[in-house]
Amino acid sequence: MNKPIRRVSVFCLLLIMALLLRTNWIQGVEADTYANNQYNDRVKYDRYAYPRGNIVAGGQPVTSSDFVNGYRYKYKTTWNDGPMYAPVTGFSSQAFGSSQLEQLEDPILSGTDDRLFFRNTLDMLTGKQKQGGDVITTINPKAQKAAFDGLGNHKGAAVAIDPRTGAILALVSTPSYDPSTFAGTSDADSQAWQALTKNPDQPMLNRALRETYPPGSTFKLVTAATAFETGKYQNITDVTDTPQTYILPGTNTPLNNDSPDEPCTNATLVDALAISCNTVYGKIGAELGEQKLLAQADKFGFNSSFSVPMKSAPSVFPNNSSPDGTAQDAIGQHNTAATPLQMAMVASAIANNGKLMQPYLVDEERSANSTTVSKHSAQEMDQAISPATAQKLQQMMVAVVQNGTGKLAQISGVEVGGKTGTAQHGQDNSGLPFAWFVSYAKVGDSAPVAVAVVVEDGGARNDISGGALAAPIAKSVMQAVIGQ
């Protein structure tokens, strides 16, 4: 080999080595950076190059992956009962990204999760087409449908939880949307997306997890729990020291009940909860003080957010109110705010003898051949209240349904406990009140379901109440779970 040829050969060898070094650097070090780059469309194309896994509720898939053989996208996601399940599944759009479980569980659904490596490798060696895994939710389809049908055309949300495990049985937000309408890249998909994002009713807002409302009188459960836990009262029949007219501390402002005819003067705790006396629980809250109420609210989960795995907005019990503000905070007004998930957790802890379980929505992740990749184990969050206090609150909630404002939630032959709420809001309380109902149903000694329902737009102002609007919805959800 003459000298010039030898030099050219060495130079070519160096170029090949540099190319190999760069290729390995990209594969080993920079692969994730390229894969996660928002401008890398190849990742998006690859996501829809194979059948995507399904999201499953009650043993049946609520999503599917259809072969469309497009130029860049071979498959497109479709939904069964899309609007009903959208707050759970979210959307998976070739043009507009993804949300909720479709986003958070994308590695499993798209088959790119590292835990699927051996399965994918085996499929590649055997020539089997790559396919995403399945996500098994805790949703009870009958409960989900009962909540969705119950809310109907109203704006609102409903959450049902199994108090024993924390499993979320229903998660509904209305108005909702059909993710199928913008799953592709056509002009029609774009128009559907634009219409949804500009809709003033915000159908893509997950009100069950992300919206906070004044909880109104449903928060009196937390105030009553604080009264028992701190020893201020011992029994549900203890008589309170409540005047006919309660003046908020430090002010000349009276705190009124819904009706001046309500027998709230010196009412017992159980009677005051049954007819929802503001004067009784506002005064108790002011006497307990902000810090004791805050400590108890925190044990129920207030001032924290939860990943179910979608992240909830934190509910709020304030720590900087004046004494008159604390009296109003204690009845779920002023600066107190809660998500429907949070109030379902309160009812759940009471029904579960004080034990608050971690709420969760995904029970299992599976590979394409149905091998379990992960399975959730129930986890205790806190002993929010003592079993003795929980028993007292259960008796008080049963009285609400049997003799008080929650009679429309009664189920024949079943112990049902509940609490109504009609929450004022807006400048000088000018907005339509929010109608609340939180409840549980007990079968034997076990409570398999706790529910929270909120309705934002109940109709004529004087017709809005938690007992009339939200209680029947909660009842239908409880019936769906217990099979009645």
Catalytic machinery residues: 217
Number of H helices, E strands in the chain: 18, 18
Asked if residue 165 lies in contact with residue 357, where contact means CB atoms within 8 angstroms, the answer is yes
Residue 397 CB contacts under 8 Å (≥ 6 apart), including other chains: 221, 273, 347, 350, 417, 418, 419, 439, 440
- The amino acid that residue 227 corresponds to is A
457 vs 30, 153, 215, CA distance in Å?
Answer: 51, 9, 15
DSSP assignment of 124-142: HHHTPPP---EEEE---HH
- DSSP string across 328-389: HHTTT-TT-BB-HHHHHHHHHHHHTTTEEEPPBSEEEEE-TT--EEEE----EEEE-S-HHH
- Tell me the DSSP string of 139-206: --HHHHHHHHHHHTTS-EEEEEE-TTT-BEEEEEEES---GGGGSSSSHHHHHHHHHHHH-TT-TTS-
Q: Omega before 175 cis (within 30°)?
A: yes
For the chain, state the CA radius of gyration: 27
DSSP label of 467 = I
User: Please, are residues 137 and 171 in contact by the beta-carbon 8 Å criterion?
Assistant: no
Q: Are strands 355-357 and 254-255 parallel, antiparallel or unpaired?
A: unpaired
Residue whose token pair is 């024949």: 412
CA nearest 47: which of 71, 73, 27, 70? 73
* Chain-centroid distance, C-alpha 79: 20
Q: Which residues, in sequence order, are bridge partners of residue 455?
A: 156, 435
Strand partners, 435: 422, 455
Structure tokens at 357: 């379980």
